[in-house]
């Protein structure tokens, strides 16, 4: 499908919904995760949350710059009673974000929105770091 600016803004708003959800989910998981093996990741989850909110601000700025209105909707959050399952949920979220941002970077490139592409690349780098953090603590 050929990308249009309108479709790009819609997709960026969906990414924004996922960023809000990730920030909320990380805060909740950090608060309830238990077990000595997860002590180090607990603080990292709060850092991830702050970075996800920074991504939300970056996306909002770009959506506004493109002539859109940033959403206030929030995508689905995952919760669990199992600490390991929470981290798996967070990992799935990061994998989804990485996939979405790779698509968005290609779309920005197709529309010659090079500033947006650069912002998305910076976000992608952090999402990949989050994935590595989670893989490490999950022993994968």
Is residue 86 within 8 A of residue 30, CB to CB? The reply is no
| Confidence band for 1, pLDDT divided at 50, 70 and 90 | low
CATH of residue 56's domain is 1.20.1260.10
72 Cβ neighbours under 8 A, 6+ residues apart = none
Domain count, the chain: 1
pLDDT digits (tens, 9 = 90+) for 22-76: 999 999 999 999 999 898 899 999 999 999 999 999 999 999 999 999 999 999 9
The whole model's pTM is what?
0.96
Domain span at 91: 5-137
User: Residue 17, Cβ neighbours under 10 Å: how many?
Assistant: 17
Query: Residues of the chain with pLDDT > 90: what percent?
Result: 94
**pLDDT at residue 99 tops 80:** yes
3 state SS for 23-43:
HHHHHHHHHHCCCHHHHHHHH
């Amino acid at each position: 499908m050929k990308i249009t600016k309108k479709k790009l803004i819609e997709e960026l708003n969906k990414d924004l919904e996922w960023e809000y959800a990730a920030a909320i989910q990380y805060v909740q998981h950090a608060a309830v995760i238990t077990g000595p093996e997860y002590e180090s990741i607990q603080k990292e989850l709060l850092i991830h949350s702050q970075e996800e909110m920074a991504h939300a601000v970056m996306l909002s700025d770009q959506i506004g710059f493109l002539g859109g209105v940033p959403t206030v909707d929030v995508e689905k959050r995952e919760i669990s009673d199992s600490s390991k399952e929470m981290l798996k949920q967070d990992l799935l979220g990061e994998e989804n974000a990485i996939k979405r941002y790779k698509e968005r970077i290609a779309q920005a490139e197709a529309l010659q929105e090079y500033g947006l592409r650069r912002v998305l690349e910076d976000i992608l780098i952090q999402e990949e770091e989050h994935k590595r953090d989670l893989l490490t603590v999950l022993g994968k």
